[in-house]
Amino acid sequence: MAVRKFKPVTAGTRHKIIGTFDEITTSKPEKSLLSPKKSSGGRNNDGKMTVRYIGGGHKQMYRNVDFKRSKDGIAATVKTIEYDPNRTARIALLVYADGEKSYIIAPNGLQVGQTVMSGAGVAPEVGNTLFLSEIPLGTVVHNIELYPGQGAAMARSAGSYAQLLAREGKFAVIKLPSGETRMVLVTCRATVGVVSNVDHSLESSGKAGRERWLGRRPRNRGVVMNPVDHPMGGGEGRASGGHPRSRKGLLAKGYKTRNPKKTTSKFIISKKKK
């Protein structure tokens, strides 16, 4: 995966950096795995705007991705690598030996025609899903479950991965993309490899219109508002606005929002990087 930079022929291409889409093999998704996706425009059932900066955008269909990978012991062949408008990573269409089809998050390096499997006793190769109890220590993984059978919850976005550091009894120690180290039950599943589209962080829209195509409306800063509209608004000239905080007054930088009484805190060994 690489990115393309453009000559500044127009203002929109001056800062435009997008992916090359080299790994994508088809532009037509599997119809049986599509679901309609309703766009709210940030409005609730009364038509009142409850979330700002949302609206417009191209019509999209949702691709039903299999995050559980619970079809154990049956080989699946990668038929296509596709673009998914609902996520930053690429997705892969699998065709199982019994004829069933499903989408998965495509790991980096997965090729069309390759065979992947899931379940106990499977080789720890890229694209295979195993229990954490069977994955060799030091292996890079993604699509990690928090609870057995829940489905992948961690390390799912483009280029992200976690590392299996150790096993202690019924728990595995995993270092997450945020830098946090935590314990997860060894009966949880994870997929070997790094999530595809690793250069996504290098991409740049280049113009406001491309953000509108994605359904993102202009976002205005709190410091340019009036005091009636935002806690950071008001002042003469370019006032800094005081302590960074949300429109409702919640501090935005350094303020801990995690509940200290949360039961899963005992599984966190070290906090994420500051």
pLDDT digits (tens, 9 = 90+) for 162-215: 999 999 999 999 999 999 999 999 999 999 999 999 999 999 999 999 999 999
Side-chain half-sphere exposure of 220, counting CA atoms within 13 A: 8
Note the pLDDT of residue 1.
64
Residues 168-202: b if buried by 16+ CB within 10 A, e if exposed: eeebbbbbbbeebbbbbbbebbbbbbbbbbbebee
- Give the pLDDT confidence of 41-87 residue by residue, as tens digits: 999 999 999 999 999 999 999 999 999 999 999 999 999 999 999 99
Lowest mean pLDDT among 45-59, 126-140, 227-241: 227-241
Q: What is the mean pLDDT of residues 107-115?
A: 96
pLDDT band at 239 (very low <50, low <70, confident <90, very high): confident
Give the least confident one: 115-124, 136-145, 229-238: 229-238
Q: Which CATH superfamily is domain 3-201+263-270 in?
A: Nucleic acid-binding proteins (2.40.50.140)
CB 188 within 8 A of CB 131: yes
Q: 260: buried, middle or exposed (CB in 10 Å: 19+, 13-18, 0-12)?
A: exposed
Contact 192, 231 (CB under 8 A): no
Domain spans, the chain: 3-201+263-270
pLDDT of 140 above 80: yes
Confidence band (pLDDT; 50, 70, 90) for 241? confident
Q: Which segments of the chain does DSSP mark as H helices, in order?
A: 11-14, 208-213
Looking at the predicted structure, is the pLDDT value of residue 273 above 80?
no
> How many C-beta atoms surround the C-beta of residue 272 within 10 A?
12
Map tokens 């532009």 to a residue: 27
Mean predicted lDDT score pLDDT of the chain: 95
Which pLDDT band holds residue 257 (cuts at 50, 70, 90)? confident
Burial class (CB in 10 A: 0-12, 13-18, 19+), 34: middle
Say what the pLDDT of residue 274 is.
65
Q: Contact at 8 Å (CB) between 130 and 123?
A: no
Secondary structure class of 142 (helix, strand, coil): strand
Tokens of 107: 């790991």
- Which band of pLDDT confidence, cut at 50, 70 and 90, is reported for residue 240? confident
**What's CA 260's distance to the chain center, in Å?**
26
- Per-residue pLDDT for 254 more than 90? no
